[in-house]
Amino acid sequence: MNGYMGRMLWVDLTAGTIEPMPLDGELREKYVGGYGIGARILVDKIPAGADPLGPENVLGFITGPYTATDAVVGSRYVVVGKSPLTGGWGDANSGGYFGPALKQGGVDAVFFTGISEKPVYLLVEEGEAKLCDASGLWGMSVSATEDRLKEDLGKDARAAVIGPAGEKLSRIAAIMNDYGRAAGRSGLGAVMGSKRLKAIVARGKAKVPVADPERLKGLRSKASKQIKDGTGFSSFYTATGTAGYTVIGAESGDSPVKNWKGAAGVDYEYPKEFTYEAQEPHIEKRWGCYRCPIVCSRMVKVKDGFYAGAKGHIPEYETQSAYGSNVVNYDYRSVVKANEICNDQGLDTISAGATVAFAIECFEAGILTEKDTDGLKLDWGAHQSIVKLTEMIAERRAIGDLLAEGPVLAAQKLGKGAEAFAIHAGGSPLPMHDPRFEPTLAVIYRTNASPGRHTQACQYLLAPNHPVKDMPMFGQGTDVQEGRGKYIRVATAMAHIFNCVGTCLFAYLSLEMDMLIEQLSAITGKEWTFDELVETGERIENVRQAFNWKHGIRPMEVEISDRAIGVPPLKEGPTAGVTVDIEKLTAEYFEDMGWDVGTGRPSVERLKRLGIEELAPAFG
Ligand code: SF4
């Protein structure tokens, strides 16, 4: 049981019951933790056709073997469930302090089913849990909820909560912790809201059993030294965090511009307010997750201007681009304000920014008018209306009510050609990395079990000493598209592993690969190899795909917006002329995965090799 508390809880919110669940050896060894374990459980537990916002959906909060140990870094937890945004597999993950608190509270994972009659929160401590009345918290913002829980239960209480957006079932709602860290994607905040579950609160001092504590301690020292020495991308994360990437992304063509129809340097020029130096005057202090030596985040407060006083965690690159280049906004301070609103109301900033960009383009095309927007004039770069519209989405006010469904459903209801302005894969608004800059992203966005995600296959996260030496680096030219797709299997598998062990992908990028594997071995007592981890990650992806097949989603039938793959190609800018050969890249990936090139169905032989042949019937 090393690396785990050995205890999971099954909470039936309809019945108000809490039952322990075994975390058996097979689950631990074959699926490691996080959404690996979550997918294997939910593929059986959620019936085909279940309404994501109905009682049959299951919402799980799961840690991994790294979480709350001496490992660098063991800060994360994941949330899993059927996504109300895509209708298929959903997961999201977050750092901060909640994941470690859950594990130190004595449990590895909690799963919720059913719907509570009245608002509740779950309190976890010393391996036990109880449901508590949350009627007084319902309607409160994220920060007010966290404040109140700390007042009532003590400062050591750590909570994962929803804000009003999740309560109002916005399909782009996030689950928040630590006043602004987000399990943002997949719309799982709405699932939590549908269950009338306002929060999970955890606290405790339980020690996670570790196979070789001395070895892990030694590895922690070595890992901290690697970070100090600037291994991998650690200097970048330490110096600026992702906030330091915004201008690089905007200039290179990686960041989408003007709802993905514009060109970098043409429709969005050098955003000087977004350089890290320009952001620095607003930074109040550094902020890091649980025992992380990288400390990539910052706390900011806008010092002057119209948005003076706006504050919170520094907007990450994704937020800065979603509310910057993609809506042609040059006002950094307004991005801090939009970020504050999203974090406090519990909205995913990627999806919220993408939805605002969609609405602006609908307004430009006359599909939306001031009658729909309560008099608000929407336009590219009109930062005050961008901020206002974000508030309206969170409150579901006027057009915000429709937009809270996310751009794809909103477009379906609006019609008149609005569908072309909803830039997505499989219903999930795309993150701020453009396949016209890195073509393999198109395959990842379309065919991953959780579509439209940039953290599910990180071919750009090449840890030093990565054994696959010839894997092309992220963004290394689009001229040769052939021969790149085959690397997505390894990239997907390793991203799954590091998401599932409970570490941070920035640590993956900042440490030598041997270090990451050795830490897992020291924790669990099993000597892992790179190849075993790739096989485990591949197994996890196949189980997530089995979930989707069961719920009627086939990877080849998932739609990705034309603009994102260069149909038609841009005429100007650094990615001018690029059209992604998505079919060729997909075929290469599927062949490497042992999936049928026409349908994406895994071969029975491959399922057998991965030890999951029992899931063959799920693939039809
Ligand atoms: S690198 Fe940043 S996001 Fe990752 S654990 Fe450290 S502080 Fe948190």
DSSP string, 5-66: ---EEEEETTTTEEEEE---HHHHHHH-SHHHHHHHHHHHHSPTT--TTSTT--EEEE--TT
The radius of gyration computed from the CA coordinates of the chain, to the nearest angstrom, equals 22
Let me know if 190 is exposed, middle or buried by CB neighbors in 10 A (0-12, 13-18, 19+). Answer: buried
Predicted confidence (pLDDT) at residue 461 exceeds the cutoff of 60: no
- Check whether residue 323 and residue 369 sit in a common domain: yes
At 487 the pLDDT is 85
Q: Regarding beta strands 283-287 and 297-301, do their DSSP bridges make them parallel or antiparallel, or are they unpaired?
A: antiparallel
Which pLDDT score is estimated for 611?
A: 98
Decide: 90 in ligand 1 pocket, CB within 6 A: no
For residue 417, how far is its CA from the centre of ligand 1 (angstroms)?
Answer: 41
Ligand 1 pocket, 68 CB below 6 A? Answer: no
CATH number, domain with residue 475: 1.10.599.10
pLDDT at 475: 75
Residues 6 or more apart whose Cβ sits within 8 Å of residue 464: 231, 232, 511, 512, 513
Token pair, residue 585, equals 């890249």
**Contact in structure between 519 and 410 (CB atoms under 8 Å):** no
How far, in Å, from the CA of 235 to the mean position of ligand 1?
A: 13
Q: Identify the H or E element spanning 284.
A: strand 283-287
User: Rounded CA gap, 542 and 246, in Å?
Assistant: 34
What is the domain count for the chain? 3
Q: CATH code at 354?
A: 1.10.569.10
Binding site membership of 510 for ligand 1 (Cβ less than 6 Å): no
Domain presence at residue 75: yes
In this structure, the answer to whether residues 31 and 124 fall within a common structural domain is yes
Task: State which ligand 1 atom lies nearest to the alpha carbon of 73.
Answer: 5
Residues 63, 179: one domain? yes
In sequence order, which ranges of 432-581 are alpha helices (DSSP H)? 440-447, 488-500, 505-510, 513-524, 530-550
**Cβ–Cβ < 8 Å for 109, 62:** yes
* Same domain, residue pair 446 and 418: no
State the distance from the centre of ligand 1 to the C-alpha of 95, rounded, in angstroms: 7
The amino acid at 398: A
Could you tell me if 347 and 447 lie in one domain? no
Nearest to 81 by CA among 195, 176, 242: 195
Tell how far the Cα of 131 is from the centroid of ligand 1, in angstroms. 31
In testing the pocket of ligand 1, which one of 66, 295, 461 has its CB within 8 Å of the most ligand atoms?
295
- Is the pLDDT confidence value at 459 over 70? no
Residues 322 and 408 in one domain: yes
Determine the pLDDT at residue 485: 80
Helix axes 34-45, 488-500, angle to 10 degrees: 90
Three-state secondary-structure class, residue 456: coil
Q: Please check the confidence at residue 278 and state whether its pLDDT lies above 80.
A: yes
- Distance of CA 98 from the midpoint of ligand 1 (Å): 13
Q: Which atom of ligand 1 is nearest to the CA of 292?
A: 6
Chain centroid offset of residue 384 CA: 27
Residue 242 Cβ inside 6 Å of ligand 1? The answer reads no
For ligand 1, whether the C-beta of 292 sits within 6 Å is: yes
Same-domain status, 258 and 407: yes
Pocket test for ligand 1, best of 63, 289, 314 (most atoms within 8 A of CB): 289
**Does 135 lie in the same domain as 55?**
yes
Element (H, E) at 92: strand 89-94
The closest residue, in CA terms, to atom 8 on ligand 1 is 289
Q: Is residue 472 part of a domain?
A: yes
- Residue whose C-alpha is closest to residue 192's, from 350, 47, 81: 81
Q: How far apart are alpha carbons 90 and 174 in whole angstroms?
A: 12
Whether 71 is in the pocket of ligand 1, judged by its Cβ within 6 Å, is: no
In a domain, 216, yes or no: no
Please name the residues in contact with 46: beta carbons below 8 A apart, sequence gap of 6 or more: 56, 57, 58, 81, 82, 547, 551
504 lines ligand 1 (CB under 6 A): yes
Distance 287 CA to ligand 1 centre (A): 9
| 432 domain residue, yes or no | no
Domain that holds residue 563: 440-619
Residues in a beta bridge with 157: none
DSSP designation for 560: B
Same domain, 323 and 471: no
Give the ligand 1 atom nearest the CA of 296: 2
Does the CB atom of residue 262 touch ligand 1 within 6 A? Answer: no
Rounded average pLDDT over 324-347: 98
313 alpha carbon to ligand 1 midpoint, in Å? 12
Q: Residue 588's pLDDT band (boundaries 50, 70, 90)?
A: very high
Report how far apart the first and last C-alpha atoms of the chain are (Å, whole number).
35
Residues 17 and 166 in one domain: yes
Q: For 229-240, what is the mean pLDDT?
A: 94
Average pLDDT over residues 91-107: 98
Contact 160, 200 (CB under 8 A): yes
According to the model, what pLDDT value does residue 593 have? Answer: 96
Ligand 1 contacts CB of residue 237 (under 6 A): yes
Task: Please compute the mean of the pLDDT values over residues 477-505 and round it to a whole number.
Answer: 87
511 CB within 6 A, ligand 1: no
Structure confidence at residue 465 (pLDDT)? 67
pLDDT above 70: percentage of residues in the chain: 99
**Cα 295 to ligand 1 centre (Å):** 6
Query: Which pLDDT value is given to residue 600?
Result: 97
Residue 75 CB less than 6 A away from ligand 1: yes
Whether 354 shows a pLDDT value over 90: the answer reads yes
* Mean of pLDDT values over 387-406: 97
Among the ranges given (192-206, 211-225, 287-301, 487-501), the one the predictor scored with the smallest mean pLDDT: 487-501
Ligand 1: which atom is nearest the Cα of residue 76? 5
- Beta carbon of 72 within 6 Å of any ligand 1 atom: no
Q: How confident is the model at residue 468 (pLDDT cuts 50, 70, 90)?
A: confident
- Is the alpha carbon torsion for 420, 425, 428, 434 positive or negative? negative
Give yes or no for residue 288 CB within 6 A of ligand 1.
yes
- Name the band, by pLDDT with cuts 50, 70 and 90, for residue 464: low
Contact 391, 417 (CB under 8 A): no
Residue 28 contacts by C-beta under 8 Å, 6 or more apart in sequence? 1, 3, 4, 37, 65, 524
| pLDDT at site 156 | 96
Measured by CA distance, the residue closest to atom 2 of ligand 1 is: 296
The answer to the question of residue 520 being in a domain is: yes
For residue 185, the model assigns a pLDDT of: 97
Q: Is the CB of 505 under 6 A from ligand 1?
A: no
Contacts of 396 (CB under 8 A, 6+ apart): 168, 170, 404
pLDDT at site 121: 98
Does 219 fall in a domain? no
Q: Ligand 1 within 6 A of 291 CB? A: no
548 CA to centre of ligand 1 in angstroms: 30
- Lowest average pLDDT, out of 85-99, 458-472, 489-503, goes to 458-472
For residue 503, give the ligand 1 atom closest to its CA. Answer: 5
pLDDT > 70? residue 217: yes
- The pLDDT score that the predictor gives to residue 463 is 59
DSSP state at residue 602: B
- Ligand 1 closest atom vs CA 75: 5
Instruction: Assess whether the C-beta atom of 234 lies below 6 angstroms from ligand 1.
Output: no
For the Cβ of 297 lying below 6 angstroms from any atom of ligand 1, the answer is yes
Per the domain annotation, does 221 fall within a domain?
no
Q: What is the pLDDT of residues 22-33, one digit of tens each?
A: 899 999 999 999
Rounded distance between C-alpha atoms, residue 470 and residue 537, angstroms:
20
pLDDT at 222 over 80: yes
pLDDT at 508: 86
**pLDDT at residue 575 greater than cutoff 90:** yes
Secondary structure, 3-state, 150-216? HHHHCCCCEEEECCHHHHCCCCCECEEECCCEEECHHHHHHHHHHCCEEEEEECCCCCCCCCCHHHH
Stronger pLDDT, 473 or 414, i.e. the higher one: 414
Residue 73 beta carbon below 6 angstroms from any ligand 1 atom: yes
Give the C-alpha separation, 292 to 279, whole Å: 23
* 146 lies in the same domain as 263: no
Residue 460 pLDDT greater than 60, yes or no: no
Does the CB atom of residue 95 touch ligand 1 within 6 A?
yes
Residue 473 C-alpha to ligand 1 middle, in angstroms? 22
Sign of the dihedral defined by the CA atoms of residues 182, 184, 190, 195, in that order = negative
Q: What is the mean pLDDT of the chain?
A: 96
pLDDT at 72 over 70: yes
Q: Which of 148, 175, 202 is the last residue of a domain?
A: 202
| CA 409 distance to own-chain centroid | 20
Q: pTM for the whole thing?
A: 0.97
pLDDT band at 478 (very low <50, low <70, confident <90, very high): confident
CA of 507 to the centre of ligand 1 (A): 7
Question: Domain boundary residue among 202, 231, 265?
Answer: 202
d(CA 474, CA 453): 15
Q: Is 294 in the pocket of ligand 1 (CB under 6 A)?
A: yes
d(CA 252, CA 488): 22
Whether residues 463 and 601 share a domain: the answer is: yes
Q: What is the DSSP letter of 406?
A: -
SS3 546: helix
Q: Is 233 inside any structural domain?
A: no
Q: Which of 151, 177, 202 is the last residue of a domain?
A: 202
pLDDT, mean of residues 367-387? 97
- As a whole number, mean pLDDT of residues 118-136 equals 97
What count of residues does the chain have? 620
In this prediction, residues 550-577 reach a mean pLDDT of 97
Within 10 Å of residue 591's Cβ, how many Cβ atoms? Answer: 14
Expressed in angstroms and rounded, the spacing between residue 517 Cα and the centre of ligand 1 is 19
Question: Is-contact 427 406, C-beta < 8 A?
Answer: yes
Atom number in ligand 1 closest to CA 510:
1
Mean per-residue pLDDT, 292-302:
98
Reported confidence tier of residue 90, pLDDT bands at 50, 70, 90: very high
Distance, in Å, from the CA atom of 612 to the CA atom of 44, rounded to the nearest integer, reads 13
